[in-house]
Every structure is written in C-alpha cells, then in structure tokens.
Amino acid sequence: MDKMKIQGRPLPGMPWEDRPAGCNDPIWRYSKNPVIPRDLLPDSNSIFNSAIVPFRDGYAGVFRCDDKNRRMTLHAGFSKDGLKWDINPETIRFEGADPEIGEWVYGYDPRVAEIEGSYYVTWCNGYHGPTIGIARTEDFVTFHQLENAFLPYNRNGVLFPRKINGKFAMLSRPSDTGHTAFGDIFYSESPDLEYWGHHRHVMAPAPFEVSAWQCMKIGAGPVPVETSEGWLLIYHGVLHSCNGYVYAFGSALLDLEKPWKAIARSGQYLMSPREIYELTGDVPNVTFPCTSLHDPDTGRIAIYYGCADTVTGLAFGYIPDIIEFTKRTNIL
C-alpha cells in the first residue's frame, strides 16, 4: 500500500511525548497534564475548550477563560513550545462588526483554522441564544469580526483548513438554548464566509446499543486533518448516564471532496474521562477536544482538550494509528 499522505506544514518542534510502555490505546495523555491550570490568569475560574495553532516561531491560541463572575470570555495567548502559555489577561475585543451582532454577550469553545494565510476564529457566540461567530486575525492582536454564520441556535462551528470545491466549508451542530439533549453534525458551504448554504447532514448520534458514548449528541472537535484516506475528524460524543452527561471523543473519516459523506466512524472512543482532572471539576466527566497540532512527516498529532470544564489537557498519537483504529472499530 502507498504511504498515507498527510497535508500540513512540517512541525518538528510540536509538543510531544512517546507512547508510554504498556499503553495499547490509540492516544495517550501528556505526563504532566493538565497543561494549562485553571488559575493561569488572576481572574480566571477555569481555562479549557481552547484553540491553538502554529504561529511564527511558536504557537498562538484563543482560550476559553471563564472568569470569577463565571462569564464566558475569549483571550489570546502565545507560547514558544505549546506547553507554557502566556495568556493576555484582557479579553479579545473583536472589531468591525455591525453593532447589532458585535455587542459582546458571551463567547465560548473557540476553534482556529488557518486558511490561505489568515487565521479564522469560530466560536459559540451569544446573539439571542448561541450561534457561530467568525473573526479573522493575522497576528492574534487585532481580530476583525465577520457576520455570524447561522441563525441561533448552533454550536461547535468548525472550519475546514482549505476551500472545498471553491467554497469555504464548515461543520456545525444545530442546538437549543440550553444544555441541548440532541445534536447531529451538519456541513455548510460559503463563497465569502458570510452567506452559508448547501447544508448537508454528516452524522447523527449512534444508537445506544451500538456505541453508547456518542448516543445522545455529537459535535465536531478540532479542525479536520486532510489525509489521502479522507478528512480525519475528531469529534465529541455524549452519553446521558444516570449521573449526568459524559463527554468522550472519537474519530471519523470524511470524504475529501464531499465531506458530508462519512467513510468510517469509530465505535470505540479515543478518550473518555478517566483521570482525576477529567472526572472532577466544575462539570465532572468531560473531555472536550477543540484543537490539534500535527506533523505530516512523522504523522504525530497533539490534541488539546478541555477537562471537566476546568483545565486544559493534552494527548498524543499518530494519525495513521488513529485512522487504522477508526476503520477497525467502524460502526457505519
């Protein structure tokens, strides 16, 4: 078989630890998790569900920081190594939006995609309920806000890292105003990042009897990774247990040119809450991935995920192993 091709720029200096001896899981946790503590900022209650990209000679990110008023805010940050972060204590002030949508209500669960040399932030933006906000930045200092992508209610808006068939492309998850008890992943296209259409269904929650960790709702996680096998999508899934919601995550392969067609989908989770910082916190039993870094040459991938809505964790793996796992445990 030909060697799998993985798109992206070489990233030899990405944060990395080898698979621990005796570990047979497709991904493994950073030995010093959590990588970002809840109190990195003087006023932060928690820092989690955040987005990171390679930037200049290091990394930049947009962080979900809930403050001690328990307001959900977004902050920019920089790091040399992806492990030690300098997060701006001031919230991001988005510029240039129509005041009707530019007035800040709340923002959470950001993702950042680099497309054609610019960085695009998508987040869950308050506008008569949650919807998908979009902003562009070149430097993580000035952020230009665009129109919201969709009508409320919607969450987990994740852009693809390139145009598909000449259009910007986004996954999202129509929701409700609260702790939504349902949710499928959809695909939408736009010529200009303002007008979205060509909506297509991608995946529904799995039947309980087949894969219970993803039986209540699902949502896209990090920006998908392009490989010769298809788009590798890491996504979260929710189980409604007798003790509340449990957030785990798994993987799927989507068709390269028709990403609404899933090729394979993991029946097993890649990760489910197990460590103490995932099991306890402001919201127990949550592992919620929003970003990944990868090095195409080695196939290494580093996944950042929110832990118990309190701190940020990091996990490592190899893209070819995750793809093999996705096919081996496929439920489609």
CA distance 305 to 42: 22
Residue closer to ligand BMA (CB basis): 161 or 219: 219
* Binding test (CB under 6 A) with ligand BMA, winner from 309, 317, 322, 326: 309
* Contact call for residue 249 and ligand BMA (CB under 6 A): no
8 Å CB contact between 184 and 202:
yes
- Stretch of 26-34, 157-165, 281-289, 293-301 contacting ligand BMA, by CB under 6 A: 281-289
* Contact call for residue 286 and ligand BMA (CB under 6 A): yes
- Stretch of 5-13, 166-174, 192-200, 282-290 contacting ligand BMA, by CB under 6 A: 282-290
* Binding test (CB under 6 A) with ligand BMA, winner from 85, 108, 120, 168: 108
* Contact call for residue 247 and ligand BMA (CB under 6 A): yes
Q: Which of 61, 62, 100 is nearest to 82 (CA)?
A: 61
* Residue 189 DSSP SS3: strand
* Binding test (CB under 6 A) with ligand BMA, winner from 135, 283, 311, 323: 283
Nearest distance from C-beta of residue 106 to ligand BMA, angstroms: 11
* Contact call for residue 288 and ligand BMA (CB under 6 A): yes
Tokens coding 48: 């989690």
* Contact call for residue 49 and ligand BMA (CB under 6 A): yes
Nearest distance from C-beta of residue 283 to ligand BMA, angstroms: 4
Beta-strand pair 311-318/27-29? antiparallel
Nearest distance from C-beta of residue 47 to ligand BMA, angstroms: 12
Nearest distance from C-beta of residue 323 to ligand BMA, angstroms: 26
Q: Which of 89, 1, 73 is nearest to 39 (CA)?
A: 89
* Contact call for residue 66 and ligand BMA (CB under 6 A): no
* Contact call for residue 306 and ligand BMA (CB under 6 A): yes
* Residue 212 DSSP SS3: helix
Position closest to ligand BMA via CB: 283
The single-letter DSSP state of residue 195 is: S
**Site map (CB under 6 A) of ligand BMA, residues 198-237, x = contact:** ----------------------------------------
- The tokens 């990588």 sit on which residue? 35
Contacts of 22 (CB under 8 A, 6+ apart): none
Residue 132 to residues 65, 101, 117, 138, 315, Cα–Cα distance (Å)? 18, 11, 22, 20, 27
DSSP 32-93: T--SB-TTSSTTEEEEEEEEEEEETTEEEEEEEEEETT--EEEEEEEESSSSS-EE-SSPP-
- Residues of the shown chain interacting with ligand BMA in the complex, contacts defined by CB under 6 A: 49, 108-109, 179, 247, 283, 286, 288, 306, 309
